[in-house]
Amino acid sequence: MSSSTSKLFAGALGVTGGLAALRFLAGQIAKQGVKVIMTDPYSENLAELLSATKRTGVQTILETNLRAQRAQVLKRPLGSPRRFLDFDGLMFVSAHLDREALPHTIPVDVTTTIGPRSKRPLTVGTPLFISGMAYKKALSARAKYALALGSRLAGTVSNTGEGPFLPKERELADRLIVQYPRLPLHRTLDMLAQADALEIQLGQGASAGGAQVPFPHLVFPELPPVRASSDLPKVVRFLKQAGGGVPVGVKFSFTNNLEREIDLCLEAEVDFLALEGAKAGTVAAPPILLDDFGLPTIMGLCRAVEHLKTRGVYGQVSLIVSGGFFSPGQCLKALALGANAIYLGTMPLYAMSHTQTTKSIPWEPPTQLVVDGGKQSRRFNWKLGAKHLANYLISCTEEIKEGVRALGKHALHEVDLTDLVALDEVTSQVTGVPLAYAKRTVRALVPSRG
């Protein structure tokens, strides 16, 4: 046997022996571990974690330790993990014999108009909008560029959020909603004149109406603030003039005072409402605001639509909803219930990050790629992110069209709650959609006597 062959044989033998030893060692550790778990008293047994975590949940234990580490308000990113009442309790009614489903070659009109009674309504080719996510307060400049360019490529509209203004964001976005915070941050008349719509931010689903002004030195005292309901009409009039007639709306979270707050907005003559449910996400908010404030989106949506109809302005004052929309099916259900458009926040962040998340994980969370000051934010390729975001929005829009075709309809505005059934009594009561199991007409088959 040659020297090289002998070395190869010895090496293979060594590896085999090492694997056998490793397998034996692992087996011994496993046996000893199982024995300890099966014989130690419960108070000393690691198995108590099974009971404890089942009772409180892993996330609760984790957040308890984070609170114990720092005597500070905990800030949790990307929304609440709670399972609120949502759109999963609804199903669409398929078209078969009573009406014919449309083939995929038939075009479907999903054109969406916001503020139809304004001088310059905002019209786009999809009901899916990018929600307000602020530069500096939340996202990096690169992330904002990706959102703006992605919205242009997908034929939709983006939103500045409540942070400082980015001129390049305006340059990249075809349509841009400029958000106007309660205390105006870095907002100028020139910037307001560049908006395709103006949105007064009074609150959001993930952090209720919590305090603002993270950058006091950027507050423009010459612009009118919204500190009380009495300020709203004046600010709306100011923005309609500053924006040259573009739609002016108000954003806040769904609450049990919803109808009263809508009335105050209608008295101020707003063109649209942007209302957000309790499952909305944000860069970081106290868990108490994420988990325990507001209303589920589906509940607030149905109440808002009903109230707008009662006031006789449904279809004139547009309704954009957000908070917990993760699929095209959920979006189409909300549109069927009466929303005019959907704001998406969390999902666009996931979509534009796509394979670039490997730059962060496993050592850092993916959010470090897009948040302002994130450890990997400088490595984010915003042009590639814009492409992936556009792909996602186009895909979702095309899927919504497929849903409309499956209902046998030619346009999104033809879809309504008569196309839905509810799977449970609570969802039925909240939405006014009939129960799927309530209608049971059985015809007995009687044999002919000839």
Q: What is the pTM assigned to this prediction? A: 0.85
Does residue 444 surpass a pLDDT of 50?
Answer: no
Higher pLDDT among residues 29 and 154, named by residue: 154
Higher pLDDT, 206 or 270: 270
Q: What is the per-residue pLDDT for 87?
A: 94
Whether pLDDT at 305 is above 50 = yes
What number is the average pLDDT over the span 151-173? 94
Q: Is the pLDDT of residue 200 over 80?
A: yes
Q: How confident is residue 445, by pLDDT bands cut at 50, 70 and 90?
A: very low
Q: What percent of the chain is predicted at pLDDT more than 90? A: 56
Predicted confidence band of residue 13 (pLDDT cuts 50, 70, 90) = low
Can you read off the two tokens belonging to residue 262?
A: 């809508």
Percent with pLDDT over 70 in the chain: 83
Cα 254 to chain centroid distance, Å, stands at: 15
Residue 412: both structure tokens together: 């999104």
Compute the mean pLDDT over every residue in the chain, rounded to the nearest whole number: 86
Among 51-60, 139-148, 208-217, 280-289, the minimum mean pLDDT is found in 208-217
Count of Cβ atoms closer than 10 Å to residue 69 Cβ: 9
> Which tokens sit at 352?
């534009």
Length, in residues, of the chain = 450
The rounded distance, in Å, linking the Cα atoms of 257 and 269 is: 19
The average pLDDT across 35-46 equals 65
Region 224-229: mean pLDDT is 78
List the Cα angle 128/132/138 in 5-degree steps. 135
Q: Per residue in 201-221, is it b (16+ CB within 10 Å) or e — as a string?
A: bbbbbbbbbeebeeeeebbee
More confidently predicted of 118 and 282: 118
Cβ neighbours around 151 below 10 Å, total: 29
Residues 6+ apart with CB under 8 A from 388: 150, 351, 352, 353, 354
| Residue 207's pLDDT band (cuts 50, 70, 90) | confident
Closest CA to 83 of 321, 257, 297: 297
Rounded to whole angstroms, the Cα distance separating 162 from 199 reads: 10
DSSP string of 35-84, one letter each residue: HHHHHS-GGG-TTHHHHHHHHH-HHHHHHHHHHHHSSS---BSS------
CA atoms of 316 and 443, how far apart (whole Å) = 46
For residue 448, is pLDDT > 60?
no
Q: Is the pLDDT of residue 290 over 70?
A: yes
H or E segment to which residue 157 belongs: strand 157-159
pLDDT at 155 over 60: yes
Q: What is the model's pLDDT at position 282? A: 78
- Cis before 103 (ω within 30): no
Least confident of 23-32, 209-218, 230-239: 209-218
Name the residue among 334, 325, 265 with its Cα closest to residue 298: 334
pLDDT digits (tens, 9 = 90+) for 88-110: 999 999 998 888 899 989 999 99
CA contacts within 13 A on the Cβ side of 30: 6
- What is the residue extent of each domain of the chain? 14-69, 87-431
**What's the average model confidence in pLDDT over 185-206?**
83
Residues facing 181 on adjacent strands: 201
Give the residue with greater pLDDT, 285 vs 437: 437
Q: How far is CA 230 from the centre of its chain?
A: 31
Strand locations in 245-340, DSSP E? 248-253, 272-276, 318-322
The band of 15, judged by pLDDT with boundaries at 50, 70 and 90, is low
Residues 6+ apart with CB under 8 A from 247: 114, 115, 118, 120, 121, 122, 197, 198, 271, 272, 318
Class of domain 87-431: alpha beta
Tokens of 171: 């340059």
In the prediction, which pLDDT does 378 show? Answer: 92
* C-alpha 159 chain-centroid distance: 14
How far apart are the C-alpha atoms of 28 and 315, rounded to whole Å?
A: 71
